[in-house]
Amino acid sequence: MLSLLQLNRNIRSIRRYRQIIRVLFTYGFDQLLELLNLTHVVARSRRIFRRKESKITELSPAERMRLAMEELGPSFVKLGQLLSTRSDVIPKNFVTEFAKLQDNVPSFPFAQVREQVRLELGNDIEAFFSSFSTTPIAAASIAQVHRACLHTGAEVVVKVRRPGVVELVETDIDVLMGLAILAERHLPGSDIYDPVGMVREFARTIRREMDFPREGHTIEKFAGCFSGDPTMYFPKIFWETTGKGILTLEYIDGIKVSNLPALEEAGLDRRLIAHRGADAFLKMVLVHGFFHGDPHPGNVMILPENVICLLDYGMVGRLDEHLKGYLIDLLLAILKRDVDEVISLLISSGDVPDNLNAGALKRDLTEFIDNYYDLPLQEIEVGRMLQEFIDIVTTYHIKIQPNLMLLIKALVTIEGMGRELDPQFDMIGHLRPFMEQAIRERVSPLYLFKDFRDHVTSLFSLAQNLPRDIKEFLAKINRNRFKINLEHRGLDRFITELDKSINRLSSSLIIAALIVGSSIIMQTNKGPLLFGFPVFAFLGYMIAGLIGLWWVVAILRSGRL
């Protein structure tokens, strides 16, 4: 049974490959396909597909790639949205275009919603809900949302996963991984961008987003972190009507934070909302190391008494203690205008290329910091400052942790909302107490003792394992089993082209031999004759002509004379 499922998945992957290649070719990315060593596919596509050159040539490559992703469906839309947070690995114009990707997809029929509920919960909708809206209030690429009411009278929203979306996403992950492997083999400098690592990160992110119980547990974790905080509210999860592809949440009747007139009409305090939101987000990041990754205005609702409620927890970022410490040190170094410390932190992060031009980096960072030198702290936009910093360091191919990139994007959004609510909003003022607390914790005896203990434990573990590792190393050498694996990159295409050239040369020699041999036979007038000429000479000429014609057609089809 497993082999049949695997076969079915492989067939789906082949079909998906064809569709992706067709779309990429249609939008003018045949050169990219050739770089991936898919020259034969490009030649075939040129014969089969046609594109509207006048429309395509008017668009930039970033615009064409965005349109291609929209046409390829949910997985590629999600991939583009993820890449829009990675300005450290893709050009800025692509980041800007991918940020425009939206889940603008039609809703699926209510009959399928009913079937999904029955499959997930084991019974019909009526067994769980006293009412269930047939029209969704929102539809996205992964799921759509309906209002409903439980038999207890509780008003809820039900998030229902699209039928077949899991199989489609898994197929796309397989295809993307195959393309990423091709990119690592054939695209020069691809190791800087780590395409396989990016696909793995995408797979982890989208699988989490499709796992609705995980989202429910995430909401409860946030609620636990803010337990006793009256300024934040988190929707309740109804687990009895939640399954792998169904999530039932408390319905939140609030005002979107972007609806400023409605906030004013309700008598809510915009300045207080901005300050509470900033404090809550910084608490998520610097205290709990666990933050909402997509806090755009549509996901922020304001309740009575200026209480903030966040929606949609499909995208969540995490910072461990090491990453939190790194972020705090980096912010302190920038605010203190200590360029040498900034460079030292970047180098110690381990994501710096060997050929780093430290002098040029220091010059650019100095100019960057000088731009903020005369500005009062309350006028500095932290999110924008960090984004400018990322733009500089990525020029030197310095990799930044994905969660830090997600944090910076979220911080830019939070700060923008804060300034929209309160023109005098000061993120530095909110950040200062958290950083001061972090510095106090670092010099506390308890922290110093824990740090010392961790270092001693690491050294002790190293001392324990070192003799065994040396023994294994020497044993492999003694048994002639010590191996060094060398990996070549970029030679596959050269070898393929070399094989083609050798084959054509061999064919040319065969044709020449047939012509020469047939000419010699023609002079002998021996063997069976046809019209007074030797038959074998005719056969030789015919075979040589067919082979030559075949090669001419193949060369013309490839587009390379």
Tell the residue number behind the tokens 């958290």, with chain if given. 434
**Is position 294 annotated as part of the catalytic site?**
yes
Yes or no: say if 129 and 241 are a contact pair by the CB < 8 Å rule.
yes
Q: Backbone phi, then psi, for 20, in 5-degree steps?
A: -65, -45
Q: What is the DSSP string of 149-189?
A: EETTS-EEEEEEEPTTHHHHHHHHHHHHHHHHHHHHHHSTT
Whole-number Å distance between alpha carbons of 504 and 558: 14
Q: What's the CA angle centered on 260, arms 257 and 264, to 5 degrees?
A: 115
| Residues whose CB is less than 8 angstroms from the CB of residue 558 and which lie 6 or more positions away in sequence, other chains included | 39, 43
Q: How many helices (H) and strands (E) does the chain have?
A: 22, 13
**Three-class secondary structure of residue 237 per DSSP:** strand
Q: Do 499 and 511 contact (CB within 8 A), yes or no?
A: no
Q: What are phi and psi of 301, to 5 degrees?
A: -110, 145
Q: Are the beta carbons of 240 and 122 closer than 8 angstroms?
A: no
All residues at 6 or more sequence positions from 533 whose CB lies less than 8 Å from its CB, including other chains: 522, 525
User: Coil, strand, or helix at residue 410?
Assistant: helix
Token look-up 């004759």 returns 529
Listed in order, strand segments (DSSP E) in 56-202 are: 129-132, 138-139, 143-150, 155-161
Task: Give the three-class secondary structure for 307.
Answer: strand
Exposure letters 317-337 (e unless 16+ CB within 10 A, then b): bebeeebbebbbbbbbbbbee
Three-state secondary structure call for residue 44: helix
DSSP H or E segment with residue 529: strand 529-530
Are 346 and 329 spatial neighbours (Cβ–Cβ below 8 Å)? no
Structure tokens at 312: 């949609």
Catalytic residue among 88, 211, 294, 426: 294
Q: Which are the catalytic amino acids?
A: 294
